[in-house]
């Protein structure tokens, strides 16, 4: 396989368009006659709807429709449960509009369609909803009170699911272990906050009986299939397009958000296109969130710092509904062992409903929590035994000879949690170099003598990526020699347009610029699932590769006939198809494409030159010989991985803590990352950068604060603090490449990696910086005021 483009830092092909403001996001779509929708959202976290009076809203000039639950007819169905699981005994999903009960602040109660969004919002103010409010389940603590308030009256104890898994025999290991510790660790809520909020434009074409929806989503195909079923339309009469999407981070893989049903519904009902754009205030209270978990962990280790067994029991907050099943806590349970040789492990979790925004995966998806727990353990072992923290990790790492390594748990895709490849020690060694790890103690001592508190922290992780079920792609060479590629996955900024083009370019001997990649349009490709779980490059990338190889073989076959040569002697390079060692006998790829399509007429320059060349005439027999399998240089490819591939990494940072204000600044940040073979190092680094920035946000800036009434009291960017370029340090990134044996490209996912170890390493660094005060961080996220309290308490207590 020629590998000219694979591995090269090709500049992002999508950027010139996006940077010039030529992107086409949902809100850029303006159709003639279009109306605008706004959603009335519950102001109560737990209440019965006594009455809704929409008469004043109806009579406001410019209002076309006011919908409440009772107007929805058979569309008033709970959203599908996306990933059922036997342990999820009490699945509950949301109605498009609340019927008689609301379960979180932000739940959709009514919808208004008006001439413009201004009028629609005026009308919302005129809808009078009377609520009867009840005590609110505003925390995991309240959710677990015996005979406490219930989110769903018919779900006892608010327990949605309970799952216990055991590997090895932890009980007997604990019974005889030299050291056993127990700790409580907490991770609180955060949210993805993509720059572009959600949005939908729906158009019903009555003449064509065709429904078209542009949705800012990560999964247009499943939505298309669902909408077809809901509205009793054939699938080919529903087109869902994810145009440019300004970030998803998992929030947009959720389906169905109520609006995804409501907006097509009203567009069909009114016979006019309808647009709904979620504003930031709505996003805070209606787009899914994540992270909240409370872990009780017990761990056993020996005198050499070898981790012998872990018993982890945790509560997982799923919010008011569980649309995504128990994927997130399953990932947590499976991620916890990390890069370590943990043979005795029991994991038990309980998923609880709370009166909060529903939970579904957000970049990292349960992993930052798991890594926080495991890395806290590693640090603690080091401090208990007075060993170096990296040394403890190194002693516990699974070594390269031990792959494939089976953790022994069932992963989120139902397959094994089986690490395909890795070299964790190589990553650790690179990190030491990047951080200047060995000279840090001197630096730290120097700073302390000046009254400054520097700390170094590390976090290592293994990330399951590239899960099934499958993805597919179509690759087609057009007459001008450019190549059209379409796939069912979507792109939200990860540079798929570039990396997919690189994969195709290598197979067809062309430049990536000549590849036109279409993502997320159900009319361009009919099969697939979506972009999530760091799987697009691995799964769709492999499918694209497979399709491109087929096209290459077909091009060789067609050219061989024209040149009267053997297919194995045909080569593709520099946009040409030629006989090996006779490059003067060459056609352009476009000319071969034209020849592969036996029309009576062909158009354009390429066709004219073709006519004037002395090439072999068609063989006798059918114009389309059987073995070509159809006209054109076109092929589809599908790829279904045997199970997920496991990327890994280790990050480290040097921070400085102001011991009075408790502010923390990053002095240095380094990340070593292994996502198998790297398609484009620049793109992978970009993913790591973005992930780390988001991780820093989740560790020290971003925090969703719910009060006891279930109201988010910091629901704006004034108080929900996204880190800016000023807060994120410049990053040092290095790669380890252990190819995955599971797919033809040898790649693993890279999308979520950056975010995963940040809370863990942040805690590690703070402990280290404030070691003189004997502090131990057991919660995330932190903020200066909270760190101040923790430090104050540590100072008041005898050291650990």
Partner 1 sequence: MKPPRFRYCSPRILDEALVLLDQYGEEIKILAGGQSFVPLLNMRLAAPAYIVDINHISELHYFETEPDYLAIGAIARQRQVERSVLVQEKHPLLVEVIKHIGHMQIRNRGTVVGSIAHADPAAELPALLTCLDGEVLAQSMHGERVIKAKDFFAGYLSTTLEAGELLTEVRFPWLARQAGWSFIEFARRAGDYALVGAMAVLTPALDDTCMSANIAYFGVAGSPIRARAVEQVLIGTQLDAHTLDAAAGAARDVVGEDMQDVHATVEYRRELASELTRRVLKQAWARREQLEGAQ
Cβ proximity to partner 1: between 518 and 714 the closer is 714
DSSP of 624-655: S-GGG-SSSSEEEEEE--SS-EEEEEEEEEEE
Cβ proximity to partner 1: between 198 and 703 the closer is 703
Cβ proximity to partner 1: between 280 and 797 the closer is 280
Residue 610 CA to residue 410 CA, distance in Å, equals: 57
Distances (CA, A) of 314 to 4, 296, 346, 762: 48, 6, 11, 22
Cβ proximity to partner 1: between 216 and 499 the closer is 216
The least CB distance from residue 27 to partner 1, in Å, is 13
The least CB distance from residue 292 to partner 1, in Å, is 16
The least CB distance from residue 196 to partner 1, in Å, is 15
Cβ proximity to partner 1: between 57 and 570 the closer is 57
CA dihedral (489, 491, 494, 498) positive or negative: positive
The least CB distance from residue 658 to partner 1, in Å, is 9
Residue 318 CA to residue 320 CA, distance in Å, equals: 7
SS3 category, 446: helix
Which residues does 206 contact at the CB level (< 8 Å), separation at least 6? Answer: 271
The least CB distance from residue 787 to partner 1, in Å, is 9
Cβ proximity to partner 1: between 527 and 788 the closer is 788
Please choose, from the candidates 144, 198, 131, the residue with its C-alpha nearest in 3D space to the C-alpha of residue 709: 131
Which residues does 648 contact at the CB level (< 8 Å), separation at least 6? Answer: 339, 422, 424, 427, 460, 461, 462, 463, 674
Tokens of 157: 């104890």
The least CB distance from residue 664 to partner 1, in Å, is 11
Contact 464, 648 (CB under 8 A): no
Cβ proximity to partner 1: between 566 and 722 the closer is 722
The least CB distance from residue 114 to partner 1, in Å, is 11
Please choose, from the candidates 574, 573, 577, the residue with its C-alpha nearest in 3D space to the C-alpha of residue 591: 577
Cβ proximity to partner 1: between 503 and 791 the closer is 791
Q: Where are the alpha helices (DSSP H) in 151-249?
A: 170-176, 220-230
Tokens of 567: 């297919």
Cβ proximity to partner 1: between 109 and 334 the closer is 109
> Burial level of 70, CB count in 10 A (0-12/13-18/19+)?
exposed
The DSSP output letter for 476 is: E
Contact 639, 514 (CB under 8 A): no
* CA dihedral of residues 98, 103, 108, 110 (deg, nearest 10): 50
Residue 54 CA to residue 123 CA, distance in Å, equals: 9
> Cα–Cα–Cα angle for 647, 316, 103, nearest 5°?
125
> Burial level of 787, CB count in 10 A (0-12/13-18/19+)?
buried
Contact 514, 483 (CB under 8 A): yes
Cβ proximity to partner 1: between 119 and 151 the closer is 119
The least CB distance from residue 784 to partner 1, in Å, is 7
CA dihedral (520, 523, 525, 526) positive or negative: positive
Contact 476, 484 (CB under 8 A): yes
The least CB distance from residue 210 to partner 1, in Å, is 31
The least CB distance from residue 661 to partner 1, in Å, is 6
Cβ proximity to partner 1: between 438 and 789 the closer is 789
The least CB distance from residue 662 to partner 1, in Å, is 8
Cβ proximity to partner 1: between 172 and 724 the closer is 724
Cβ proximity to partner 1: between 428 and 715 the closer is 715
Cβ proximity to partner 1: between 121 and 709 the closer is 121
Q: Where are the alpha helices (DSSP H) in 157-307?
A: 170-176, 220-230, 258-270, 280-286
Cβ proximity to partner 1: between 633 and 704 the closer is 704
H helix and E strand count, the chain:
20, 29
Q: Which residues bind partner 1 (CB under 8 A)?
A: 117-118, 121-122, 125, 279-281, 660-663, 701, 703, 705, 713-714, 718-719, 721, 723-724, 726-727, 783-785, 788-789
The least CB distance from residue 197 to partner 1, in Å, is 10
Please choose, from the candidates 313, 333, 330, 311, the residue with its C-alpha nearest in 3D space to the C-alpha of residue 322: 330
The least CB distance from residue 723 to partner 1, in Å, is 7
> Cα–Cα–Cα angle for 286, 291, 296, nearest 5°?
140
Contact 112, 66 (CB under 8 A): yes
The least CB distance from residue 714 to partner 1, in Å, is 5
Which residues does 730 contact at the CB level (< 8 Å), separation at least 6? Answer: 669
The least CB distance from residue 50 to partner 1, in Å, is 25
The least CB distance from residue 117 to partner 1, in Å, is 5
Cβ proximity to partner 1: between 48 and 280 the closer is 280
Contact 27, 279 (CB under 8 A): no
Contact 199, 278 (CB under 8 A): yes
The least CB distance from residue 105 to partner 1, in Å, is 16
Q: Quick count: other Cβ atoms within 10 Å of Cβ 270?
A: 15
Contact 666, 726 (CB under 8 A): no
The least CB distance from residue 660 to partner 1, in Å, is 5
Cβ proximity to partner 1: between 605 and 658 the closer is 658
Residue 398 CA to residue 382 CA, distance in Å, equals: 18
Cβ proximity to partner 1: between 172 and 661 the closer is 661
């Amino acid at each position: 396989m020629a590998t000219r483009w694979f591995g090269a830092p090709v500049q992002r092909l999508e950027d010139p368009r996006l940077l010039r403001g030529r992107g086409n996001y949902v809100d850029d779509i303006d159709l003639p006659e279009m109306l605008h929708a706004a959603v009335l959202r519950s102001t109560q976290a737990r209440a019965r709807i006594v009455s809704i009076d929409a008469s004043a809203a109806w009579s406001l000039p410019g209002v076309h429709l006011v919908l409440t639950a009772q107007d929805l007819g058979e569309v008033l169905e709970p959203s599908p449960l996306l990933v059922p699981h036997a342990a999820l005994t009490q699945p509950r999903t949301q109605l498009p509009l609340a019927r008689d009960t609301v379960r979180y602040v932000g739940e959709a109660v009514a919808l208004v369609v008006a001439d413009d969004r201004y009028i629609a919002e005026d009308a919302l103010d005129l809808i009078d909803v009377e609520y009867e409010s009840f005590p609110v389940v505003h925390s995991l603590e309240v959710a677990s009170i015996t005979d406490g308030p219930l989110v769903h009256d018919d779900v006892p104890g608010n327990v949605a699911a309970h799952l216990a898994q055991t590997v090895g025999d932890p009980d007997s290991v604990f019974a005889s272990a030299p050291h056993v510790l127990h700790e409580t660790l907490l991770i609180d809520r955060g949210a993805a906050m993509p720059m572009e909020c959600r949005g939908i434009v729906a158009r019903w074409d009555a003449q064509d009986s065709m429904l078209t929806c542009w949705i800012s989503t990560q999964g247009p195909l499943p939505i298309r299939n669902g909408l077809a079923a809901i509205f009793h339309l054939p699938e080919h009469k529903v087109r869902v397009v994810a145009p440019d999407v300004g970030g998803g981070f998992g929030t947009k893989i959720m389906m169905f958000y109520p609006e995804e049903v409501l907006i097509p519904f009203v567009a069909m009902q009114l016979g006019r296109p309808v647009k709904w754009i979620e504003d930031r205030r709505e996003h805070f209270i209606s787009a899914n969130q994540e992270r909240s978990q409370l872990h009780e962990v017990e761990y056993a280790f020996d005198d050499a710092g070898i981790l012998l067994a872990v018993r982890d029991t945790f509560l997982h907050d799923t919010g008011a509904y569980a649309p995504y099943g128990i994927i997130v806590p399953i990932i947590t349970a499976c991620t916890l062992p990390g890069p370590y040789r943990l043979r005795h492990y029991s994991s038990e979790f309980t998923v609880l409903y709370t009166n909060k925004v529903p939970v579904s995966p957000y970049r990292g998806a349960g992993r930052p929590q798991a890594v926080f727990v495991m890395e806290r353990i590693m640090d603690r072992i080091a401090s208990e035994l007075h060993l170096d923290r990296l040394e403890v990790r190194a002693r516990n790492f699974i070594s390269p000879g031990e792959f494939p390594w089976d953790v022994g748990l069932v992963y989120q895709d139902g397959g094994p949690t089986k690490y395909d490849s890795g070299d964790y020690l190589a990553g650790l060694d690179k990190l030491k170099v990047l951080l200047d790890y060995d000279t840090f103690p001197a630096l730290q001592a120097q700073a302390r003598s000046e009254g400054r508190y520097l700390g170094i922290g590390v976090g290592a992780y293994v990330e399951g990526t590239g899960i099934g079920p499958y993805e597919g792609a179509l690759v087609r060479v057009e007459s001008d020699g450019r190549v059209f590629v379409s796939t069912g996955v979507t792109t939200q900024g990860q540079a798929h347009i570039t990396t997919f083009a690189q994969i195709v370019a290598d197979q067809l001997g062309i430049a990536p610029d000549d590849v036109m990649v279409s993502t997320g349009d159900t009319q361009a490709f009919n099969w697939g699932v979506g972009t999530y779980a760091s799987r697009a490059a691995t799964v769709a990338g492999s499918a694209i590769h497979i399709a491109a190889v087929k096209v290459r073989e077909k091009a060789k076959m067609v050219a061989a006939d024209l040149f009267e040569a053997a297919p194995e002697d045909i080569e593709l390079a520099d946009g040409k198809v030629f006989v090996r060692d006779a490059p003067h006998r060459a056609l352009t790829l476009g000319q071969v494409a034209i020849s592969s399509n036996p029309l009576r007429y062909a158009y354009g320059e390429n066709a004219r030159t073709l006519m004037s060349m002395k090439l072999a005439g068609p063989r006798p027999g059918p114009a389309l010989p059987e073995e070509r399998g159809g006209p054109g240089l076109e092929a589809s490819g599908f790829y279904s991985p045997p199970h997920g591939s496991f990327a890994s990494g280790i990050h480290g940072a040097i921070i400085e803590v102001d011991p009075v204000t408790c502010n923390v600044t990053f002095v240095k940040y380094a990340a070593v990352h292994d996502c198998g073979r790297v398609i484009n190092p620049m793109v992978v680094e970009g993913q790591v950068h973005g992930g780390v920035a988001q991780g820093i946000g989740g560790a020290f800036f971003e925090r969703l604060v719910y009060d006891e009434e279930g109201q988010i009291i910091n629901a704006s960017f004034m108080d929900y603090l996204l880190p800016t370029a000023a807060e994120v340090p410049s990053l040092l990134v290095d790669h380890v490449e252990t190819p995955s044996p599971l797919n033809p490209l040898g790649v693993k996912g890279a999308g979520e990696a950056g975010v995963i170890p940040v809370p863990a390493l942040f805690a590690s660094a703070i402990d280290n910086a404030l070691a003189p005060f004997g502090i131990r961080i057991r919660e995330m996220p932190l903020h200066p005021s909270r760190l101040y309290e923790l430090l104050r308490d540590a100072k008041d207590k005898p050291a650990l």
